[in-house]
Amino acid sequence: MLWDIAVQKTYQNRFRTFELNIKLKSEAKRLVLFGPSGSGKTQFLKMLSGLITPDTGHIRFFSEEFFDSAKGILKPPQKRQLVYVFQEYALFPHLTVIQNIGFSLYKNWINPPKNIYLPEIDKWLEKFELKPLAYQFPHQLSGGQSQRVALARALVMSPKALLLDEPFSALDESLRNSLRQELSELQTMLGVPMVLISHNKEDVMHFGEEIIHLSDGKIISLHI
């Protein structure tokens, strides 16, 4: 089983209570979480990556245990090798494009040097046509360029899965279509499982192999 998930978490403040309760088994390599904002999509995706810990339940991926409240298992995000790609990309603003991409290849206390050269970085610079931008800083990039850098930064560490939070939302219509196509080809080429969040019907139709419709923290329908 690719994904075997049952998570529950209650968010509470003075004004309201929100309960996220999702049970899901899936073999889909292209899973799309669809639903209005505030339905718990991002929280759910962050639970898969380990950035948020559910109150109870379990998360298994290829029968590897990431989280199990009953057995007291909790793997930190660093040990999961699932890369979460943020909606706003979260490129490190103090590092150049090439340093951003090489970030995960350096595990010690020092960032990759400015003149870093590694074949795996070069491969992704080439693939995403980022070579001319290698020494630029994130604030000098357009939305589409930032998106590619974020993807390259994720893929360079050969993740076991990609978790994409609204990957196209910051892009205009034409860019959106081409990136959707590109991402689809990439998935086919690499075979890496992807879980993607969207509230756009077209993204869902073009990309999804299995679609999970969320509302108010619950699954309201599944389309396969």
In the complex, the residues that contact another protein under the rule CB under 8 A are 49-51, 76-84, 86, 88, 90, 92-94, 103-104, 106-111, 137-139, 153-154, 157
Distance from CA of residue 134 to its chain's centroid?
23
- Least distance to another protein, CB of residue 165, Å: 10
- Least distance to another protein, CB of residue 18, Å: 19
Whichever of 50 and 193 has its CB closer to another protein, that residue is 50
- Least distance to another protein, CB of residue 9, Å: 17
Whichever of 78 and 174 has its CB closer to another protein, that residue is 78
Give Cβ neighbours of residue 129 (< 8 Å, ≥ 6 apart).
148
3-state DSSP assignment of residue 19:
strand
Distance from CA of residue 8 to its chain's centroid?
20
Return the amino acid letter for 66.
Answer: F
Whichever of 78 and 115 has its CB closer to another protein, that residue is 78
Whichever of 9 and 153 has its CB closer to another protein, that residue is 153
Phi and psi, residue 11, nearest 5°: -105, 130
- Least distance to another protein, CB of residue 137, Å: 7
The candidate with the shortest Cα–Cα distance to 95, out of 135, 148, 126, is 135
- Least distance to another protein, CB of residue 223, Å: 28
Tokens at 118, concatenated: 């590694």
Tokens at 21, concatenated: 């309760």
Dihedral over Cα of 43, 48, 51, 56: its sign = positive
3-state DSSP assignment of residue 151:
helix
Whichever of 72 and 93 has its CB closer to another protein, that residue is 93
- Least distance to another protein, CB of residue 139, Å: 4
Whichever of 104 and 177 has its CB closer to another protein, that residue is 104
